[in-house]
Amino acid sequence: MGRKLTSYNGNDCIYTPIEMARKIVNFINPKGCILEPCRGDGAFTSVFDSMELKYEWCEIQEGIDFFDKKSTNANWMITNPPFSKVTKFLKKTIELGIPNIALLVTINSIWMNGKLNLLKDNGYQLKEIHFIESPYFRRMNGWKQSGFSLGVLVIKKDTSNTTAVSTNLKTGEIIW
């Protein structure tokens, strides 16, 4: 059996620093209601609050399991998901009919037949890849370097055949 590929250090609960969440939300500039399906300690949701954006949230540690969610008003799902559950989170988001998805992940996590076919079969496409420069993470607690590039994947219900790749999400200027 092959080695299981997990996150940087196998930990599913590495929270997003609020400055990074703010950078991502500002960059994506989401319209309409947003779902944070696993808010952790609330980096993204506090940014939504500060920007007066409408949102829904779940967090299993607070007794609200994303997989129990039956419906949503969300137009976007934005999160740093548990790395061992990326496919399940994508499946559930698609099932809920959310047309726009932004995931803070190691970008290699999307290049699997199962995930790509899931998107294709449901009329979704990987539209944008925004790299987050790596050296930044060497300075941060918990966010260990693994050799896998970190970035934000923007996935949309849209079958036009283009994927933009950028290095726009430069966060190195933020000192922690």
Ligand X SMILES: C[S@@+](CC[C@H](N)C(=O)[O-])C[C@H]1O[C@@H](n2cnc3c(N)ncnc32)[C@H](O)[C@@H]1O
Count of residues that interact with ligand X, criterion CB under 6 A: 22
- Of 35, 76, 77, 82, which one interacts with ligand X (CB under 6 A)? 82
For residues 31-60, which are near ligand X according to CB under 6 A?
37-40, 43-44, 58-60
- Asked whether the beta carbons of 75 and 102 are under 8 A apart, the reply is no
Site string for ligand X, 6-25 (x = CB under 6 A): ------xxxxx---------
Work out how close the CB of 101 gets to ligand X at its nearest, in angstroms, rounded to a whole number. 13
Q: What is the number of other CB atoms lying within 10 angstroms of the CB of residue 77?
A: 27
Nearest residue relative to ligand X (C-beta) = 40
Work out how close the CB of 85 gets to ligand X at its nearest, in angstroms, rounded to a whole number. 6
Residue 173, C-beta contacts closer than 8 angstroms, at least 6 positions apart: none
- Asked whether the beta carbons of 132 and 17 are under 8 A apart, the reply is no
Closer to ligand X by Cβ: residue 79 or 100: 79
Can you read off the two tokens belonging to residue 129?
């890849």
Closer to ligand X by Cβ: residue 80 or 109: 80
Question: Using CA atoms, how far apart are residues 105 and 115, in angstroms rounded to an integer?
Answer: 14
- Asked whether the beta carbons of 96 and 69 are under 8 A apart, the reply is yes
Site string for ligand X, 96-115 (x = CB under 6 A): --------------------
Question: Using CA atoms, how far apart are residues 42 and 113, in angstroms rounded to an integer?
Answer: 32
- Regarding 163 and contact with ligand X (CB under 6 A), the answer is no
Can you read off the two tokens belonging to residue 48?
């939504």
Binding site for ligand X (CB under 6 A): 12-16, 37-40, 43-44, 58-61, 65-67, 79-80, 82, 85
